[in-house]
Structure 1
Amino acid sequence: MASTATPQGSLRQRNVPGSKKKVGTGPGDDTELDTLVRSAKQASVAGSEWDYKIALAVITVLAFVSRFWGISHPNEVVFDEVHFGKFASYYLEKTYFFDVHPPFGKLLFAFMGWLVGYDGHFHFENIGDSYISNKVPYVAFRAMPAILGSLTVTVTYLIMWESGYSLPACIVAAGLVLLDNAHIGQTRLILLDATLVLAMACSLLFYIKFYKQRHEPFGRKWWKWLILTGFALSCDISTKYVGLFAFVTIGSAVVIDLWDLLDVKRPGGGLSLPDFGKHFAARAFGLIIIPFIFYLFWFQVHFSILSRSGPGDDFMSPEFQETLSDNVMLANAVTIDYYDSITLRHKETKAYLHSHDARYPLRYDDGRVSSQGQQVTGYPYNDTNNHWQILPAEVETEQQMGRHVKNHDLVRLRHLVTNTILLSHDVASPFYPTNQEFTTVPLEDAYGGRSADTLFEVRIEGGKNGQEFKSVSSHFKFIHNPSKVAMWTHTTPLPDWGHRQQEINGNKQLAPSSNVWLVDDIPSLPEDHPRREKPEKQVKTMPFLKKWFELQRSMFWHNNQLTSSHPYASQPYQWPFLLRGVSFWTQNDTRQQIYFLGNPLGWWLASSLLAVYAGIVGADQVSLRRGIDALDHRTRSRLYNSTGFFFLAWATHFFPFFLMGRQLFLHHYLPAHLASCLVVGALVEFVFNADPSSEEASYQAIKSGKKPAPGPKRHVTARERFSGQSMVSAWIACGVIMAVVAASWYFFLPLTYGYPGLNVDQIVRRKWLGYDLHFAK
């Protein structure tokens, strides 16, 4: 599925006197229909090229004006600029940070900051912080997405032009993106979506250009557009992981194309298996291997720049952190000996392992009975009830004093304040009936009949046998030895009987990183003790792929954890109908606000025509089953192949979101919205220019075996094909659509640009679907 436009070329002489009529034998050989269609396209381009170029120039200029107009307002941090502006500053300071998104889009911001000489001193801590007083070149940062967003409009136009659509169709598709408030709003701020949407649009354009070279496979242009398609796909997924949907779009089209090449019944016959293997390998190289190489490259740049310790250290292993200079955690690491007093802290929630005299209740709210043992909880503050003494598994002897604790050692923990030993047993925890309760027992029980239940294994993450156990740097899982459950906690507070502290229980799933703990300090060790000496640490190296795999695991895990509710989150079924937006910024004194919202009339038109397209295809299929052929060949081919490709792009960028459990927002629909605009432009062509041309007559003649009429061949130009009543109707439709969409765009501009401020009545008039706008009363 792709554009049906064919490459330009000269008309080959097929009917040479005395020769047999030649039939194409593969994608590199032209059938007579391909030749006729291609030559007609060549004349079409020549006849209307200047019209298309002038319209392209005008639309591009308007795109830049609409994105850059008033870009300096507001002169303070807006919405997620707190994240991506901060990341650009960290790049410029070479300070390691962690984010769930790949680095490409953020590197572009850092590059822009570097170009204007910014040093990264401002960290974008809070929404509303002033750029002016902090001397931040924020206009330069915002200019990057504004440039990319403007070029997205240009690329949208080029997609339609390259696909062979009429000028009104090109203008409608590009105009819907040009006049869309959501695309404008998202590309005027320091956000990643401008990069994502442009890369997605470029992947469609480059693949169409590649497909148009199908008659000259493995040629220079064929390879160029294949590689560029792969590069665009790489930029897409290297900005956000939802860029994977573009791979699904292009991959689906490639599978259909390869399946067609394999068909021996196709005109010219199918490819031989060796030739098919070459086509398959070339596409795999250009669309899988090349994108993956570029994807790795951006991470290599990421690691090369971020050489200093920073706020992202906590997300990485100690081995990774040893590759960063000035790492405080490693500098403060102290080897732990038996009989040391230690405090244990949960890596994810930062809660301390804590205990106190209070007991578990006899019965929980669901009727289950507890052990009524001493409570063991997670506590956010450090006090003496967090102090535990680490004891060896074997009987205590004087020889154990001063011996280092090592990886995989079996140990006991003594709670110093209550003089009891930590224990886990086969009793259900308060919140998780499938998890084990943690409690403590007196010393006589710990070294008597319940001795085995008090043994725990220290399992250092990524540690080697015999590796020393250290404070701060040794991230470990505390595994109950008899039952093989991991000590775990979570943020849901216990009821009042548990003082609203965190539950500690035994998790049967050992693999999750949420089971990881660390020793925060050794209170029993004096500050001037020789073990606390901090010799200068040498920065170590780590293989790139090992660092990359570790970061990938951490990124995917934290991405999946973004499940908490958000006041402006929305569901996919709400997006095509624009049921709600997102509040980006407000200014109480001036009653100004930026509310992220698409152009309602444009979105509703696009969503309606998506349904119309599905209905047209369904009606055509039913008609064909009943023996009614209502469409000519060219129109049906365009409807199923080119428009179908755009519809496929919309579907693959929309429906996968229904499978996600993470937070979702309106901006996730922007790539799908661009694809829906392409469908709208294509349907304008279908409705108003669906008249059979001379191409169709030639095609029917070839099918029936008739010879072309005698006389000189004459090409039909675009001015002739797209002329008369159909073109007048198309231009009228184009004008009406653009006028209506422009009116809606203008009406919502104060919410997109953040000025001027609106009074209560003006705001209420813009609450078309109950949008949760500020200052409405």
Structure 2
Amino acid sequence: MSSPQDSLRKRGGKRPTSPNPDAASTNGQLDLLSGAKQLGKEAKQQARTAVQKTKQAAATQWDYRVAILALTVAAFVTRFWGIGHPDQVVFDEVHFGKFASYYLQRMYFFDVHPPFGKLLFAFAGWLVGYNGDFLFENIGDSYIVNKVPYVAYRAMPATLGALTVPTVFDIMWESGYSLPACITAAAIVLLDNAHIGQTRLILLDATLILSMALSVLSYVKFYKKRHEAFSRKWWKWLLVTGLSLSCVISTKYVGVFTFISIGIPVAIDLWELLDIKRPGGALSLPDFGKHLVARVLGLIIVPFFVYLFWFQVHFAILTKSGPGDDFMTPEFQETLSDNALVAQSVGINYYDALTFRHKDTKVFLHSHPDLYPLRYDDGRVSSQGQQVTGYPHEDLNNQWQIYPTKPLEGVDGHSVLNGDIIKLRHLVTDTWLLSHDVASPTMPTNQEFTTISTDDSNGPRFNDTLFEISMNNGKPGQEFRSKSSHFKLIHIPSRVAMWTHTTPLPDWGYKQAEINGNKAIIHSSNTWYVEDLPQLPADSPRLSKEPKKPKTLSFMRKWLELQRAMFFHNNALTASHPYASFPVQWPFLLRGVSFWTKESTREQIYFLGNPLGWWFASSLLAVFAGIIGADQLSQRRGIDALDSRTRNRLYKSTGFFFLTWAAHYFPFFVMGRQLFLHHYLPAHLASALVAGSLIEFIFTIEPADPANPASARTRQSIRAQVASRSFFGVWAATGVILTVLGTGYVYFSPLTYGSPGLSVSGVVNRKWLGYDLHFAK
């Protein structure tokens, strides 16, 4: 499965189907150049002359060119048809349209996806002079009323989605397949309702899928130049492959699957270069080193720097404080203009009254007179101390006074510093925060947090009331401030960090959040900050602010921080969703996603593929696996049913497409995040390539190998039995496939385009596998 190298073999005789001079020309080039290595200068020149002649012959491929032009026009028609409907926000347009507006307003936002695809939307808005006033708050909001150039936004992914169709055709063409095979593969994508529906809305998948297809196409072109190593065109397609891969992963992190599907063939190709039995002999180690360095440069280093470039653009545009501030550290936030940390941060002194807030859950540190129950539901015994909880609303019971461990001279003016050991007094109940070696209510492995009276706090329990302020990325002795100083509160005797989580306490705790001591003190979820100083007088000189310029951080520090936040929150997307689905459902198209509905007209957009196309492509994936299994078994029994060229094409070219499908499909089985049907679209494109190549394998008869008489006799025997299938069979099969695909596309198009509205019977008739469509009653 290393690569589609079978497309490069020179075929003998005349093909029974439409000829593919491009493949033959390329194969002829490679054989001529390979043979020329063993000849003198005169023979090499003759070979180069022959190559030029075959290139000129390739220019006469009018049938392929007409076909790709027709498919491209059809792709633009299907993607742009009725693109202005609906004139309302649809599904995830609430996210990606909003992000484009934030770019145009230069307001910092946070998203789990890299910036490239979102920057393209912002660029589309900028081109038409939009200022980003509309923030796409709700599905169904009117674009017309809010004067949003939504057609310009949608036109960008629609264009990319349309260009994906000729790219698929070109992959097959460059791989040396017949015209029917090329048309079949491209038509599966052209007439697929899911590809159409997903790429005509303000969503990222059009960018992702086209970049993935361009990566495959560029790699095929690069591999075809393998006998011209380090030539200009060899470098060209190597770098284009790297740039295409960079665009994939700069759009969504699932682009790493495309790196896998290209990386495995590259690794196998490098391994074969070391084979001493390869034609021309093994490369010397210095020459092999050059090949290795070139591929690392073109497929890893260059893509990585392009990936970084889009983040640099991201940071350069988003210079104002915005809704993404809270996802970042205070140091990062202080690089943004108009940031609340710069405007509202106050230095904290001992004896100030404070409210503490958890960074992730936003609950306040809270206590009230109620006690922990004597026994919990699992039979464990508590300390029966006063409850310490997390409360989401402002309340007097959220106020704590910060004390030093020893009395200070005077009351005012003593700043709290990073690393200080402090005590916290709960003002309403006049008790002191404490932790001890008692299991917390819901997590026996964590420590209970409670409070004790003033009298007890000065006796044997004094040490249990001591806590250290450990500021995140803080320097020793750095001033402790509200808003901007994110910190961990670490219990001195037991070395646990104050922590909370989202699972509420039982009724005895009023369903508030549990506060307990986490032994994993370095975990970022232990982070708190001071929300406010509620008793600080309004005329306090500490509230007077001098204008401050935003701070600066190095690009790499900002990038690393953003990467950590993106990966953390991406993995945290585990909540259930009514339209989420599992990978095992995708190849069979068992369910879709409701994007938009309009009850007055009974119109709806339901994201669903063309069932006939999906089932056809999925069945051929199984057929391919069966063919490979049968061939392996027959070879073990001494039966050689395939000639060497057919087997090479099947294993290396079709196998490469199958690997691409597998690399974009199976990794989803180990993901814990929310998954939807659109995650299968890159794999579906790869399955279309497999389907096209198998159509040629099934219906096309390979000419005999003149260098192998036994093979020639075998092939002639087979040809005599099924010759009638070769030409008319493949075109007849292609015609049937196109008819079936077109029928499925038209039948489900009302759900794809959101128009026209369907009657109850029309909706019910389209619930083939119990799809959860609206207006079925």
TM-score calculated relative to the size of structure 2: 0.93
Tell whether 2:338 aligns with 1:326: yes
What amino acid is aligned across from residue 288 of structure 1 in structure 2? I
Residue 462 of structure 2 aligns with which residue?
451
Residue 216 of structure 2 aligns with which residue?
204
Residue 489 of structure 2 aligns with which residue?
478
Residue 737 of structure 2 aligns with which residue?
737
8 A Cα contact 2:355 2:531, kept in partner: yes
1:94 to 90, 95, 106: 106
- Write out per-residue CA displacement over residues 443-471 of structure 1, whole angstroms, 9 at most, x where no aligned residue: 12222111111111111111111110000
Q: Distance in 2 between matches of 1:449 and 1:690?
A: 92
The equivalences for 1:746-761 within 5 A come to 746-761=746-761
- Write out per-residue CA displacement over residues 458-503 of structure 1, whole angstroms, 9 at most, x where no aligned residue: 1111111111000011111111122221111112211110011111
Deviation at 1:22, TM superposition (A): 6.4
Q: Distance in 1 between matches of 2:35 and 2:130?
A: 65
Q: Distance in 2 between matches of 1:333 and 1:747?
A: 60
Residue 164 of structure 1 aligns with which residue?
176
The equivalences for 1:642-661 within 5 A come to 642-661=653-672
Residue 709 of structure 1 aligns with which residue?
none
1:607 to 604, 608, 618: 618
1:542 to 553, 562, 566: 553
Q: Distance in 2 between matches of 1:625 and 1:66?
A: 48
Residue 599 of structure 2 aligns with which residue?
588
Residue 513 of structure 1 aligns with which residue?
524
Q: Distance in 1 between matches of 2:57 and 2:703?
A: 15
Residue 773 of structure 1 aligns with which residue?
773
Q: Distance in 1 between matches of 2:650 and 2:461?
A: 75
Closer/same/farther in 2, CA of residues 252 and 13 from structure 1, 3 Å limit: closer
Deviation at 1:401, TM superposition (A): 3.8
Q: Distance in 2 between matches of 1:298 and 1:46?
A: 38
Closer/same/farther in 2, CA of residues 242 and 25 from structure 1, 3 Å limit: farther
Secondary structure at the aligned position of 1:247 is classed as helix
8 A Cα contact 1:207 1:226, kept in partner: yes
Deviation at 1:625, TM superposition (A): 1.2
Deviation at 1:512, TM superposition (A): 2.6
- Write out per-residue CA displacement over residues 400-423 of structure 1, whole angstroms, 9 at most, x where no aligned residue: 642101111111110000001011
Q: Distance in 1 between matches of 2:725 and 2:35?
A: 39
Secondary structure at the aligned position of 1:574 is classed as helix
Closer/same/farther in 2, CA of residues 13 and 235 from structure 1, 3 Å limit: closer
Residue 384 of structure 1 aligns with which residue?
396
- Write out per-residue CA displacement over residues 369-402 of structure 1, whole angstroms, 9 at most, x where no aligned residue: 1111111111111010000000112x22334642
Q: Distance in 1 between matches of 2:347 and 2:459?
A: 30
Tell whether 2:430 aligns with 1:419: yes
What amino acid is aligned across from residue 447 of structure 1 in structure 2? N
- Write out per-residue CA displacement over residues 251-274 of structure 1, whole angstroms, 9 at most, x where no aligned residue: 001011111111101122111111
1:227 to 239, 249, 255: 239
Residue 551 of structure 1 aligns with which residue?
562
Secondary structure at the aligned position of 1:586 is classed as strand
What amino acid is aligned across from residue 72 of structure 1 in structure 2? G
Closer/same/farther in 2, CA of residues 642 and 583 from structure 1, 3 Å limit: same
2:167 to 155, 176, 181: 155
What amino acid is aligned across from residue 397 of structure 2 in structure 1? N
What amino acid is aligned across from residue 107 of structure 1 in structure 2? L
Closer/same/farther in 2, CA of residues 12 and 686 from structure 1, 3 Å limit: closer
Secondary structure at the aligned position of 1:520 is classed as strand
Deviation at 1:510, TM superposition (A): 2.2
8 A Cα contact 2:643 2:711, kept in partner: no
The equivalences for 1:180-579 within 5 A come to 180-393=192-405, 395-399=406-410, 401-579=412-590
Tell whether 2:729 aligns with 1:764: no
What amino acid is aligned across from residue 471 of structure 2 in structure 1? I
Deviation at 1:42, TM superposition (A): 6.3
Residue 719 of structure 2 aligns with which residue?
none
8 A Cα contact 1:24 1:267, kept in partner: no
Secondary structure at the aligned position of 1:748 is classed as helix
Aligned CA RMSD, in angstroms, stands at 2.4
- Write out per-residue CA displacement over residues 645-682 of structure 1, whole angstroms, 9 at most, x where no aligned residue: 00000000000011110111100000000000000000
Q: Distance in 1 between matches of 2:647 and 2:148?
A: 55
Q: Distance in 2 between matches of 1:690 and 1:552?
A: 52
Closer/same/farther in 2, CA of residues 702 and 410 from structure 1, 3 Å limit: farther
Deviation at 1:41, TM superposition (A): 8.2
Q: Distance in 1 between matches of 2:618 and 2:268?
A: 26
Q: Distance in 1 between matches of 2:377 and 2:194?
A: 48
Secondary structure at the aligned position of 1:575 is classed as helix
- Write out per-residue CA displacement over residues 59-109 of structure 1, whole angstroms, 9 at most, x where no aligned residue: 000000000000001101111101000000000011110100000000000
Name which of structure 1's ranges 426-435 and 151-160 shifts more when overlaid on structure 2. 426-435
- Deviation >3 Å, runs of 4+: 7-15, 21-26, 37-47, 701-704, 722-725
8 A Cα contact 1:461 1:476, kept in partner: yes
> Percent same amino acid among aligned pairs?
66
What amino acid is aligned across from residue 360 of structure 1 in structure 2? Y
Closer/same/farther in 2, CA of residues 322 and 666 from structure 1, 3 Å limit: same
Deviation at 1:43, TM superposition (A): 9.2
Secondary structure at the aligned position of 1:773 is classed as coil
Q: Distance in 1 between matches of 2:69 and 2:419?
A: 68
8 A Cα contact 1:9 1:39, kept in partner: no
Aligned length, in residue pairs: 745
Secondary structure at the aligned position of 1:5 is classed as helix
Residue 7 of structure 2 aligns with which residue?
5
Secondary structure at the aligned position of 1:159 is classed as helix
Residue 695 of structure 2 aligns with which residue?
684
8 A Cα contact 1:560 1:661, kept in partner: yes
8 A Cα contact 1:309 1:325, kept in partner: yes
Residue 18 of structure 1 aligns with which residue?
none
Secondary structure at the aligned position of 2:290 is classed as helix
Tell whether 2:65 aligns with 1:53: yes
Deviation at 1:232, TM superposition (A): 0.4
Q: Distance in 1 between matches of 2:388 and 2:38?
A: 77
Name which of structure 1's ranges 435-444 and 510-519 shifts more when overlaid on structure 2. 510-519
8 A Cα contact 1:233 1:243, kept in partner: yes
Q: Distance in 2 between matches of 1:13 and 1:107?
A: 41
Deviation at 1:320, TM superposition (A): 1.0
What amino acid is aligned across from residue 131 of structure 1 in structure 2? Y
8 A Cα contact 1:389 1:415, kept in partner: yes
Closer/same/farther in 2, CA of residues 513 and 24 from structure 1, 3 Å limit: same
8 A Cα contact 2:154 2:202, kept in partner: yes
Deviation at 1:687, TM superposition (A): 0.3
Secondary structure at the aligned position of 1:547 is classed as helix
Deviation at 1:328, TM superposition (A): 1.7
Closer/same/farther in 2, CA of residues 522 and 186 from structure 1, 3 Å limit: same
Name which of structure 1's ranges 414-423 and 1-10 shifts more when overlaid on structure 2. 1-10
- Write out per-residue CA displacement over residues 138-157 of structure 1, whole angstroms, 9 at most, x where no aligned residue: 00000010000000111001
The equivalences for 1:668-707 within 5 A come to 668-693=679-704, 696-698=705-707, 700=708
Any unmatched runs of 5+ in structure 1? 16-20, 705-721
What amino acid is aligned across from residue 631 of structure 1 in structure 2? L
What amino acid is aligned across from residue 529 of structure 2 in structure 1? L
8 A Cα contact 1:339 1:391, kept in partner: yes
8 A Cα contact 1:318 1:330, kept in partner: no
Q: Distance in 2 between matches of 1:212 and 1:557?
A: 41
